[in-house]
């Protein structure tokens, strides 16, 4: 399980490293632009610290052999569950939900770290299973592992973050021995079931603001002052960037507060406005390359636990990308999920860095016996 430094450099995942650092650096610059000369100005500087911290975590995730990470999977999972329970008791309420836990002056969101812990715990659960053995029973067990923190997150209540456990559940199913066709069929049925449940939920548990968001997505003219206003302003921000953008710090939608939450949920709006089509497609290309690299690692990884970790990283990052950019571009409803590596926020950044670091780790150690 050991690998020499020479081997590490030779087989290391320089592509993932480069793409990760590029996105991280670009994101930091954009967050600074989104908070420059506003009351959030200090957040821009804080994001630099978070980015450095995230890079260190990335290095940690890369350098400690992923098998060791997986070995500690259950322990980390238990810690994550404990934190999620704790946050329900002691958590500070921000924007209507208890998702922040404070250790002295440092606050973090246990739900973000729980995603990584879930992936590691699941990897641990399957690592000793014989080949082609992952069947319904095992999938159900993995889903149990995933469901527990998801439910706890849902109770905060943070519906958006709770849904980010869905890609992990998808990854678990995808990893089973069942062929693609059948999985897609099940997925289709699941979507139908969700729609039914949604119809039911409409009349029971959905909050007015959640209904509003959905209605606004269906018809942007609905309540133009509230959610529709955000959608419209985000679209103006994106479109007005034109081909090459208005320039860093010069996005009027961003700088003059028309764009909602520009440093977090709508950071891609700032990218689109200030760097234009060139910059935003460049960011998307970087994501595409990163995801393609994950898939390539999937092919070369030496064991099931490694492949599972990579698949989890792929699923989580793709899910965030889809939901976040889809929202900014007005293709999906407003859900308030951040964009990996670009959005402001320490916990999320570190969690995403862990996934990226573990993926690079798997690739680097693909030949280790």
Contacting residues toward other proteins, per CB under 8 A: 37, 131-132, 134, 174-180, 183, 224-225, 229, 233, 235-243, 249-250, 252-253, 255-258, 272, 276-277, 280-281, 284-285, 287-288, 291-292, 295, 298-301, 304, 307, 311, 314, 318, 321-322, 325-326, 329, 331
Identify any residues that bridge with 108 across adjacent strands, giving them in sequence order: 101
Cβ 343 to other proteins shortest distance, Å: 16
Question: Does the bond joining 369 to the residue before it have cis omega, within 30 degrees of 0?
Answer: no
Residues 6+ apart with CB under 8 A from 133: 177
| Distance of closest approach, residue 222 Cβ to other proteins, in angstroms | 13
CB of 362 to other proteins, least distance (A): 12
Cβ-based nearer residue to other proteins, 72 or 229: 229
Smaller CB separation from other proteins, 21 or 236: 236
Q: Number of helices and strands (H, E) in the chain?
A: 16, 3
Q: Choose between 6 and 132: whose C-beta lies nearer to other proteins.
A: 132
State whether the Cα torsion 77-78-79-81 is positive or negative. Answer: positive
* Cα–Cα distance for residue pair 347/181, rounded to 1 Å: 36
3-state class (DSSP) for residue 27: helix
In whole angstroms, how close is the CB of 168 to other proteins at the nearest point?
15
**HSE value, Cβ hemisphere, 13 Å, CA-based, for 86:** 15
Least distance to other proteins, CB of residue 290, Å: 9
CB of 218 to other proteins, least distance (A): 18
101 vs 126, beta carbon nearer other proteins:
126
Using the minimum distance from each CB to other proteins, give the nearer residue, 251 or 346. 251
Instruction: Kindly tell me which of 177 and 211 has the beta carbon lying closer to other proteins.
Output: 177
Q: Residues 6 or more apart from 15 whose CB is under 8 A from it?
A: 289, 293
At closest approach, how far in Å is the CB of 217 from other proteins? 15
Residues 206, 209, 213: CA angle, nearest 5 degrees? 95
Choose between 161 and 253: whose C-beta lies nearer to other proteins.
Answer: 253
């Amino acid at each position: 399980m050991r690998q020499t430094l020479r081997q590490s450099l030779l087989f290391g995942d320089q592509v993932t490293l480069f793409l990760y650092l590029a996105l991280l650096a670009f994101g930091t610059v954009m967050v600074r632009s989104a908070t420059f000369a506003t009351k959030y100005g200090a957040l821009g500087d804080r994001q630099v610290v978070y980015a450095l911290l995230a890079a260190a975590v990335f290095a940690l995730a890369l350098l400690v052999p992923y098998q060791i990470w997986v070995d500690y999977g259950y322990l980390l999972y238990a810690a994550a569950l404990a934190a999620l329970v704790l946050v329900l008791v002691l958590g500070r309420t921000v924007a209507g939900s208890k998702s922040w836990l404070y250790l002295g002056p440092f606050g973090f969101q246990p739900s973000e770290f729980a995603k990584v812990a879930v992936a590691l715990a699941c990897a641990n659960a399957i690592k000793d299973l014989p080949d082609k053995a992952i069947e319904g029973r095992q999938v159900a067990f993995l889903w149990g592992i995933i469901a527990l923190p998801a439910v706890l997150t849902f109770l905060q209540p943070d519906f958006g973050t709770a849904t980010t456990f869905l890609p992990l559940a998808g990854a678990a199913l995808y990893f089973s021995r069942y062929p693609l066709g059948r999985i897609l069929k099940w997925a289709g049925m699941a979507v139908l079931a969700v729609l039914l449940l949604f119809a039911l939920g409409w009349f029971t548990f959905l909050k007015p603001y959640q209904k509003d968001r959905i209605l606004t997505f269906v018809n942007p003219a609905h309540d133009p002052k509230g959610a529709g206003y955000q959608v419209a302003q985000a679209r103006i921000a994106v479109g007005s960037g034109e081909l090459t953008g208005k320039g860093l710090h010069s996005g009027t939608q961003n700088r003059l507060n028309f764009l909602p939450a520009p440093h977090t949920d709508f950071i891609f709006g700032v990218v689109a406005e200030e760097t234009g089509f060139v910059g935003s497609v460049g960011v998307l290309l970087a994501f595409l390359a990163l995801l393609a690299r994950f898939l390539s690692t999937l092919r070369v990884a030496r064991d099931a636990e490694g492949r599972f970790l990579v698949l989890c990283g792929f699923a989580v990052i793709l899910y965030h990308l889809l939901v976040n950019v889809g929202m900014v571009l007005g293709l999906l409803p407003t859900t308030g999920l951040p964009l990996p590596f670009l959005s402001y926020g320490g916990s999320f950044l570190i969690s995403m860095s862990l996934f990226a670091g573990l993926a690079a780790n798997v690739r680097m150690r693909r030949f280790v016996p």
